[in-house]
Amino acid sequence: MDKTRWLPIMIVIIIGIVLGALILTWGNNSAGLRDATSGEEKEVVAIDSASAEKEKSDQYEPPQGPRGGKLFTTDDFSVEVTIFEKGVPPQFRLYLYSKGRLISSTEAKVSLTLTRLGAPAQLFRFTPEGDYLIGDQEVEEPHSFDVAIIADWKGRTYRWGYSQVEARVEMSDETMKSSGIQIATAIPAIIKPTLKLPGEIIFNEHTILQVVPRIPGMVTAVMGHHGQHVQKGDVLAIIESPMLADLRSQYLVARRRLVLAQTTYEREKQLWEEKITAKQEYLTAQQQWDEAKIALQLASERLHALGVSPQSSLSEKNLSRYEIRTPIPGIITAKAIVLGESVKEDTAVYTVADVSTVWAAITVYPKDLNVVKVGQEATIKATAFDLEGEGTVTYITTLIGGPTRAATARVELDNHEERWRPGMFVTAELVAEEIQVPVAVSVEAIQTLRDWSVVFGRYGNYFEARPLELGRSDGTMVEVLKGLSAGEQYAVGNSFAIKSELGKAGATHDH
């Protein structure tokens, strides 16, 4: 019975021991698995750290040296590269160090090779100057390039390199097209330089006339007024002149005497032919008739000289009435006559200007005198509104004077429509001779960046600013004296979009 009672208990104990052993075995396996997993994670972290260090090494930026430049160090020897441009064109200046201390610029020989986008490599050699080495060439803008440095010091050769990016934007062809940017090529071109000079519309001095009465008298009527348009022969004013009355009377008397003398001559001629009277009486009558004709002609010429028709003496009831008429069409620009005034024969009572032609008086500065020539074609444009005319230079003053110390050129303009008004400010565009230039770019491609005039050159997927020295222009193309070679591509069209991208990129300028 005792064995029967203890048997279940023993079975339970054995099962417990087995289960305990199994539990211990599972725990050890789990711990091993956790350790293995942790080892894998540590390895991955190590690999990522190595990748990060490698990436950091690829983007290595040399430290800043004592003089603000880029410092390159190997062992105990260092070279500091600076670009100096205060008061001088940009130039490389190199400083040498040993164990961090400045050493003499004569202890090492250094050369530097600079490579730009779309340009051949440029070799800089250096000579000692004071405590630094100075490059033998100017560092042209922009300062965007790859640099290779070679230095010889104490029998050893050291090599370093770095890249510097400035005024450069990466842009794919798709982005370029969507931005409205087009590509052109710098090529030789024929430039037709246009000289722009200021000027003013003035009256044609050859068509300005001063009206004088030519006979004294009292003003009884005034019809012409300042600014009024008049036609040739229009009555401007009326005066009463005793002198005119006397001249008209002389004409009437001379006319009647001529009629009487002619009648006498014809009668004496007939009597002499019929042998009734002597020839002497016939000759006397002929002489008197000739004298009467001369007297009438003289009286007639006196009236003509005053602008009065002799026939008006026959119909005019008031022999003293004198009409002052304008001899040309135009505008009354001045008036010096009032009702009731007594005027003299030489008083300028009106000034009339014919405005069918006008002059553009152009200011020509001394530096431009060799360009402006008589007979040269000129385009005149009003500055206040859209008005344009063509003309030729008819005269250039021989003397230089006035506050601007400039000469004046005259360009005659047709003004039958009276669109040009004296006093208007204008700009004259004169075309000089055609000039063949080796390199030219489109004017619309020119942008301003800092204090440069630039175009953006296209190099692969990059646009980079190219500062230009510009020459002559005709408003469409402009000559390039320096900064771009024939055959190089550049941006036209909406090139301002590239400048905007540069602003977003925050392009820097290293010194």
Mean pLDDT of 333-339: 93
> Which amino acid, one-letter code, is at 92?
F
Confirm whether pTM is higher than 0.75.
no
Q: How far apart are CA 118 and CA 465, in angstroms?
A: 12
Residue 381 CA to residue 320 CA, distance in Å, equals 51
Q: Are 215 and 306 in contact (CB under 8 A)?
A: yes
Q: Residue holding tokens 């005019």?
A: 316
Q: Average pLDDT for residues 149-177, to the nearest whole number?
A: 93
**Beta strand spans in 321-461 (E):** 321-325, 330-335, 342-343, 350-353, 357-364, 377-382, 388-396, 407-414, 425-431, 435-442, 447-449, 452-459
Using one digit for the tens of pLDDT, what is the confidence trace for 42-70? 332 322 333 333 333 344 689 999 999 99
| 455 vs 499: CA distance, rounded Å | 10
Instruction: Give the pLDDT confidence score for residue 46 in this predicted structure.
Output: 29
Q: Which residues contact 80 (CB under 8 A, 6 or more apart)?
A: 65, 66, 67, 69, 70, 71, 72, 94, 95, 96, 97
- 74-123 pLDDT tens trace: 999 999 999 999 999 999 999 999 999 999 999 999 999 999 998 899 99
- pLDDT value for 278: 83
Give the tokens for residue 199.
């000027």
- As a whole-number percent, the residues of the chain with pLDDT over 70 amount to 86
pLDDT at 285: 86
Say what the pLDDT of residue 401 is.
65
Question: Which pair of tokens denotes residue 103?
Answer: 């050493």
Comparing 312 with 351, which gets the higher pLDDT? 351
Amino acid at 174: E
Nearest Cα to 453, choosing from 468, 440, 471?
468
Between CA 457 and CA 447 the distance in angstroms is: 12
CA atoms within 13 A of residue 351's CA, in its CB half-sphere: 9
Supply the pLDDT for residue 505.
61
Q: What is the pLDDT of residue 511?
A: 53
